[in-house]
Structure 1
């Protein structure tokens, strides 16, 4: 049995499985216009198979705001898929809907001011886009030159250091995020695990921000990394299509184990 098949067989045997998945670069290809990202059909089919199995819960765990995550995931009100948005600061639960922290006027005002300042500071920088987020902002530089991206990141770094030094900074693929909430994908996984009573968790992701979740996993869990970059994951898949195949193999194996 290959290492991949062995990992699938082991996680498929657990009593109560949580399949937690990053979205961008994991279930969907990265897109120059982030709101146009969509799950590939093969991933959607595998997720539907997994979500229909007994004692199996699927969750998307993303840095996207809950609103934006629902849009790109084409997530409907009757979906069985749980959501953790904003790195675990927001949740959506079947039968309950959105679970969001109470608004804070001071934090919200600072977020808006920093967003406005970041837009002004990066105005005229080709390929740079400032994304408003529920608890902060993101600096997208996917289509910018390396020099322009570095200049944009430096400009916004200076703004945040001066105006909100307590904010959390995260860097990912062609994005730097800043937030006044400090949750991470590790806390999101812990909350989801506790909510459903999972006996094991499979988490898959492709980016630096996913490593928080991957390093938090225990011996009974399984971490999967999409791509070839360094990771704490124990299993690596080549790309989004390969992860979809992996999830489909898991659905087949778990259906067999649960018979």
Structure 2
């Protein structure tokens, strides 16, 4: 989208009574890394998030496929943070001033998760560059630094095992990762839950990957969806890079501060 059109879209949501700014993290605020746990937000993106979170009636949330524990680590998210978190694609939540929202346990599902994760880790151990990431409700198969052949082998092995042992699990794909989970929440349900909890009259959501499209497609006329980078999207706005998104979020913070004086 052109600079003028982006400016107009930002100005429109900046005037909202209560604006929820919801953001994916990896590839949206932070560059993708070969070691996923080394990901950190660009300084400009972190500064824009902080500026928005300081404004009245402007709650900010990170909405990520990461487990809540890992999201807090890479986001450098302390117990005093004003930023809401939705981890595991919306199956886990953290609320400022309250902490993690309790969820009901499922011992049988946890046991199956552990068994499948252990078996896959063993099966894929000889594939260079393939890593099985533990997740709260399943696991992810990372292939960012693997050869194309080894990546295909890993995905096929995981698909076969899950189809045989856990056909009811949800499968998601992303940038050099395939994820499996026994919880079926998506980022669309995360946005809906945050919107209701916070009484938002409008939502800005930004993301860069396939899993973000659930949330982008769920937005209404009063909202604004931003896609970071290439790929088919339901977003009305596209920016070319994380830096461009950081600039847009900084501009939004200035507009909203001005509009509320």
Establish whether TM, by shorter chain, passes 0.5.
yes
Query: Is 1:151 aligned with 2:163?
Result: no
2:84 maps to which of 82, 96, 99: 82
1:67 maps to which of 66, 69, 77: 69
Residues in 2 aligned to 1:212 and 1:56: alpha-carbon distance in whole angstroms: 23
Residues in 2 aligned to 1:180 and 1:65: alpha-carbon distance in whole angstroms: 13
Aligned to 1:222: 224
Q: Secondary structure at the match of 1:56?
A: coil
Question: CA deviation digits over 1:175-231, x for unaligned, max 9?
Answer: 000000000000000000000100000000000000000000000000000002111
Aligned to 1:122: 124
Residues in 1 aligned to 2:220 and 2:102: alpha-carbon distance in whole angstroms: 27
Aligned to 1:27: 29
Residues in 2 aligned to 1:74 and 1:5: alpha-carbon distance in whole angstroms: 30
Aligned to 1:182: 184
Is contact 1:121-1:156 (8 Å) kept? no
Residues in 2 aligned to 1:65 and 1:99: alpha-carbon distance in whole angstroms: 13
Residues in 2 aligned to 1:21 and 1:121: alpha-carbon distance in whole angstroms: 35
| Equivalent residue pairs, number | 259
Aligned to 2:213: 211
TM-score, normalised by the number of residues in structure 2: 0.98
Q: Which residues in structure 2 correspond to 1:1-259 (within 5 Å)?
A: 2-259=4-261
Alpha-carbon shift at residue 146 of structure 1 (Å): 1.1
Alpha-carbon shift at residue 100 of structure 1 (Å): 3.6
Q: Unpaired runs of 5+ in structure 1?
A: none
TM-score, normalised by the number of residues in structure 1: 0.99
Residues in 2 aligned to 1:100 and 1:156: alpha-carbon distance in whole angstroms: 30
Q: Secondary structure at the match of 2:134?
A: strand
Q: Secondary structure at the match of 2:154?
A: helix
Q: Secondary structure at the match of 1:91?
A: strand
Q: Unpaired runs of 5+ in structure 2?
A: none
Residues in 1 aligned to 2:88 and 2:13: alpha-carbon distance in whole angstroms: 27
Residues in 2 aligned to 1:82 and 1:65: alpha-carbon distance in whole angstroms: 14
Is contact 1:140-1:175 (8 Å) kept? yes
Alpha-carbon shift at residue 113 of structure 1 (Å): 0.3
Alpha-carbon shift at residue 123 of structure 1 (Å): 1.4
Alpha-carbon shift at residue 240 of structure 1 (Å): 0.7
Is contact 1:21-1:60 (8 Å) kept? yes
Q: Secondary structure at the match of 2:194?
A: helix
Residues in 1 aligned to 2:163 and 2:248: alpha-carbon distance in whole angstroms: 42
